[in-house]
Structure 1
Amino acid sequence: MLKDKILSHLRGKKNLLAFSCGADSTALFFLLLKHEIPFDIATVNYSLREQSKQEVAYAEALAKEHNLTSYVFNAPKIEQNFEAKAREIRYDFFSKLSQTHGYENLLTAHHLGDRFEWMLMQFCKGAGCAELSGMQNTQKRDSYTIIRPLLHLDKQELIEYLKSSNTLYFEDESNLDESIKRNYFRHNHTTPLLKKYLDGIKKSFAYLDEDRDALIEEADIKNIDEFAYFKRLQTQRSDIYAIDKYLKSQLYMLSANERELLREQETLVVGRKFVINQSKEFVFVAPYVTKVVMSSEFKEECRVLKIEPKLRNYLYKNQEAFLKIKELL
């Protein structure tokens, strides 16, 4: 069920599986064992359900049975904006594990249904081909690569695989809550369509991937600490795609409105977290910093170099980034 191209990325590497005990990650767990791929597992416990204790115990029992290392993080209580905050907590945990223990790949169990949900949600908000193609099989982060081996498979195919071997997995009851947008799309749109048009939807995503690769030029993004920059590409469309991709790696999701504003504005602050400056030749992304007392000499140097004012507070605190932007401008 796993593609040879994906397996080649995993063999001989140190792999970490994001494991939730749900059908998706459980199927991936046993598929990795079947293909003799080395991996360990990482589980985040949000302690929202009584079942969470059973899931953690099952994860640790599986790890012990198959001689794997199991990492468990008990997340703090999330008061609001649960979906976004939970994602931030998850990926912060996975990133720290990857950096500390040298994991080269983070494996997630996103499948075709997840990708289809994302596509429909983006379509309803306003998106182009690059956004509609959604999740990719591989996505490079600073110190590791996210790999999604199941994107070509529907959830029902994964459930049938588990049932064929009578393998235990857990169902998260929160997946039934249609007040959560992705659940609404799943139950009312993507699941019925996948049942009826599975082969056609798989082919459509293959075409979308080809179109994205043809339309979007990849940026060579450089980093100095939290300061990122790249040479502007042939089209602003490719620039914005690169900005969006980089910010996702920093756990920030651009809204459809913010992507539109990037078309119109040379400089934009997003989420009061990042400042994006599209200069004539380069794109700069830095943490948004305020209330820094700068020297008059520094202010004058920035004025002469025509450095975007919203970048200056961060650059004043990061001399290496300042020297680089001076060199580029």
Structure 2
Amino acid sequence: MLLQTTKELLQDSKNLLAFSAGGDSTALLFLLLENEIKFDIAIVDYGIREQSKDEIAYARELAAKYGFSCYEKAAQEITKNFEAEARSLRYGFFEELIEEYRYENLLTAHHLGDRLEWFLMQLCKGAGCVELSGMKTVEKRENYNLVRPLLHLDKQELLGYLNSKEIDYFEDETNSDESYQRNYFRHNFSEPLLQKYKSGIEKSFAYIDQDVDSLIEETEVKVVNQLAHFESKDRRTNLVYIDKYLKSCGELITANEKQELLKHESVVIGRKYIVTQDTKNVFIAPYVQATGLEKKLKEKFRVLEVPVKLRGYLASDVEALEFVSLLLE
């Protein structure tokens, strides 16, 4: 069921599987075992369901039985914006493990239904080709690859695999709660569409990926310490590369922030990063407020016309400042 290209990528790599004990990630775990691909797993307990304790126990049981490591995290209570905060916490945990243990690939169990849900949600919000394209099988992040080995399969195929092998898995009861936007789209739109038009949907995503690759002009992103730079194109193209770079840093741009980037030259993203763009250059750096700058440095910034909100970071990084100075002189 795994694609040959995916197996070749994972075969001799150090892999970390994002595990939940649900059907999707359990199917992926056993497919990896079946294909003799080595991996460890990481699981998060959000503490909102009694069943989560059993899921953790199942993860430990599988790790002991099949000889891989199981990393666990107990999350503190999330009181607002659960989906976004849970995602941030989850990926923060995964990336800590990736850095500490030098994993090359983070594997998630997103499947074709997840991709279609994303497509439909973006379509209803208002989105361009890149946003509609959404998930890729392999995405390059700052120091690892995010790999989705099941993106060509739908939920029914995964459940069929589990049932044929008599493999246990857990069903999250919150998956039936349509107050979550993703569940609403899944139950009312993506699942019925996949039942009838799976083959056509697969072909459409393949065409969309090809079209996006041909539409977006390749550009080199240079990174000096924590400063990223590339030559400015039009705002839509800039947005693609800004989004891609920040994703590699673990930061997701919100819909509102994307609209701001299309309208303004300087935008603070997630209170963490400053993005500045003009007709020639795009800079991305950690957002640091400029305070107590020496008079000489202030004058240098003024002469070079360094964007105001970029100055705080450049004042703290001599190499990045030298790089920017050479560009703007």
Output the aligned Cα RMSD.
1.5
Secondary structure (helix, strand or coil) at the match of 2:78 reads coil
Give the percent of matched residue pairs that are identical in Structure 1 and Structure 2: 53
Q: Tell me which residue corresponds to 1:166.
A: 166
Indicate yes or no: 2:222 matched with 1:238. Answer: no
- Count of residues paired in the alignment: 328
Secondary structure (helix, strand or coil) at the match of 1:61 reads helix
Secondary structure (helix, strand or coil) at the match of 1:247 reads helix
Distance change >3 Å, CA 219–CA 22, structure 1 → 2 = farther
Point out the more displaced range, 254-263 or 28-37: 254-263
The Cα shift of 1:291 comes to 5.5
Secondary structure (helix, strand or coil) at the match of 2:48 reads coil
Point out the more displaced range, 22-31 or 176-185: 176-185
CA distance, structure 1, for counterparts of residue 251 and residue 142 of structure 2: 15
TM-score by length of 2: 0.95
Secondary structure (helix, strand or coil) at the match of 2:253 reads coil
- Structure 1 unaligned residues grouped into runs of 5+: none
Deviation sequence 1:211-231 (CA, Å, 0-9, x none): 111111344323334322223
Indicate yes or no: 2:267 matched with 1:268. Answer: yes
The Cα shift of 1:280 comes to 3.2
Indicate yes or no: 2:142 matched with 1:142. Answer: yes
Distance change >3 Å, CA 90–CA 225, structure 1 → 2 = farther
Point out the more displaced range, 115-124 or 319-328: 319-328
Q: Tell me which residue corresponds to 2:114.
A: 114
CA distance, structure 1, for counterparts of residue 137 and residue 41 of structure 2: 19
CA distance, structure 2, for counterparts of residue 13 and residue 252 of structure 1: 25
The Cα shift of 1:265 comes to 2.1
Q: Which amino acid aligns with 2:267?
A: L
Indicate yes or no: 2:182 matched with 1:197. Answer: no
CA distance, structure 1, for counterparts of residue 83 and residue 110 of structure 2: 16
Q: Tell me which residue corresponds to 1:152.
A: 152
Contact 1:266 1:279 in 2 (8 A): yes
CA distance, structure 1, for counterparts of residue 219 and residue 21 of structure 2: 36
Q: Which amino acid aligns with 1:57?
A: A
The Cα shift of 1:131 comes to 0.9
CA distance, structure 1, for counterparts of residue 255 and residue 58 of structure 2: 40
Q: Tell me which residue corresponds to 1:21.
A: 21
Deviation sequence 1:159-182 (CA, Å, 0-9, x none): 011000110000111111111111
CA distance, structure 1, for counterparts of residue 312 and residue 57 of structure 2: 48
Contact 2:25 2:109 in 1 (8 A): yes
CA distance, structure 1, for counterparts of residue 143 and residue 114 of structure 2: 25
The Cα shift of 1:321 comes to 1.8
Q: Tell me which residue corresponds to 2:176.
A: 176
Q: Tell me which residue corresponds to 2:90.
A: 90
Q: Tell me which residue corresponds to 1:221.
A: 221
CA distance, structure 2, for counterparts of residue 321 and residue 239 of structure 1: 21
Q: Tell me which residue corresponds to 1:322.
A: 321
Q: Which amino acid aligns with 1:59?
A: A
Point out the more displaced range, 1-10 or 286-295: 286-295
Distance change >3 Å, CA 206–CA 192, structure 1 → 2 = same
The Cα shift of 1:48 comes to 1.2
CA distance, structure 1, for counterparts of residue 79 and residue 228 of structure 2: 31
Q: Tell me which residue corresponds to 2:74.
A: 74
CA distance, structure 1, for counterparts of residue 275 and residue 247 of structure 2: 14
Point out the more displaced range, 312-321 or 163-172: 312-321
Contact 2:119 2:132 in 1 (8 A): yes
CA distance, structure 2, for counterparts of residue 186 and residue 261 of structure 1: 30
Point out the more displaced range, 173-182 or 25-34: 173-182
Q: Tell me which residue corresponds to 2:58.
A: 58
Contact 2:288 2:313 in 1 (8 A): yes
Contact 1:122 1:132 in 2 (8 A): yes
Secondary structure (helix, strand or coil) at the match of 2:274 reads strand
Indicate yes or no: 2:12 matched with 1:12. Answer: yes
The Cα shift of 1:102 comes to 1.1
Contact 1:218 1:242 in 2 (8 A): no
Q: Tell me which residue corresponds to 2:308.
A: 309
CA distance, structure 2, for counterparts of residue 194 and residue 277 of structure 1: 41
TM-score by length of 1: 0.95
